[in-house]
Amino acid sequence: MVVTVSMNPAIDKTVEIPCLQPGGLNRITRVEYDAGGKGINVSKTIRELGGESIAAGFLGGNAGKMIENVLNEKQIRHDFIWVEGETRTNTKVFEINGAVTELNEPGPVIIPEQIEGLLEKLSGYADKNTLFILAGSIPNSVDKDIYARIIRLVHKKGAKVLMDADGELFRCALAAGPDMIKPNRVELEEYAGFDYRTSDRELFGTAKGLADKGIGTVAVSMGKSGAIFVRPGYAAKCPALSVKAHSTVGAGDAMVAALAYAWDLKLGNEETVRLCMAASAGAVTTVGTKPPAREIVDMLKERVIIEKMEDN
């Protein structure tokens, strides 16, 4: 069983314009609304791949009801804590040249009683056959150690955790020992203290160091440079697939979903890597934060190139 946790879900509003004019009039040529936030995106992609998950976290107001309706329509199970205030709306402005400007709202205030309610809910799902996905930001009112708390809580019942976060949230969670992580290049560079763009070999060394500390899977997404995967006795790099890109938003979430889906099916290393690369590339071709269709993913899997990596 896979449980996605969205502490700060959102309505993703995607607008397209010819060219952003700061301080001036911008005429929108296209608008898309999606139920979003990293955890929600992961659940939608798992569903598109043919799997199942339970979406949990916090929802509020009319935006929360819209997300609930989308999940119902897609037949995705959910179990949210309802809070006062309004679930945020995140606006992504796309220009013809590919530039993206993101405007993200902070989200509602979460009180301690609601945090405890969520922890109790998650504990009820936790057992040795459960994988929890902790992905994305948290509301400003929530302590940065919340992911670490969840990891320690569910580990006591034998559950596994896949974490995708950044900054202090990432560092705090690492101390609790997640089972899988999916940082991108910038997030891993920031964690390791690099103040320059690292080489793939340096990134691999950092990922290998985390794996050596007990993290079972370290998947590093590198955008146009592809991705690096490190697991016990296995390390590989995959060049990015060449596709007709519409937006890179959601590509990382699709990779997280593929990792979770592969875990649920107990797929081997190479099949997992192929699925991750194909799902991520497929997400780049969609409008807004919509997941890639399964048939697209299956087609792209055949084009994945896997290059084994070794310590120097």
Q: At 134, is the secondary structure helix, strand, or coil?
A: strand
Q: Which has the closest alpha carbon to 182: 237, 134, 129? A: 134
Cα separation, 40 vs 90, in Å, equals 14
The catalytic residue among 253, 264, 298, 311 is 253
Q: Which has the closest alpha carbon to 96: 19, 26, 31? A: 19
Cα separation, 198 vs 190, in Å, equals 11
Label the pairing between strands 88-95 and 180-181.
Answer: unpaired
Alpha carbon 271 to its chain centroid, in Å, reads 20
Any catalytic annotation for residue 253? Answer: yes
Which segments within the chain are labelled E, that is strand?
A: 2-6, 10-17, 30-36, 54-59, 77-82, 88-95, 100-104, 131-135, 160-164, 180-181, 217-221, 227-231, 234-238, 307-308
Q: DSSP letter at 290?
A: P
Cα separation, 83 vs 86, in Å, equals 8
Contact status, residue 5 vs residue 133, Cβ threshold 8 Å: yes
72: number of Cβ within 10 Å: 11
Amino acid at the residue 132: F
Q: Could you list the active site residues?
A: 253
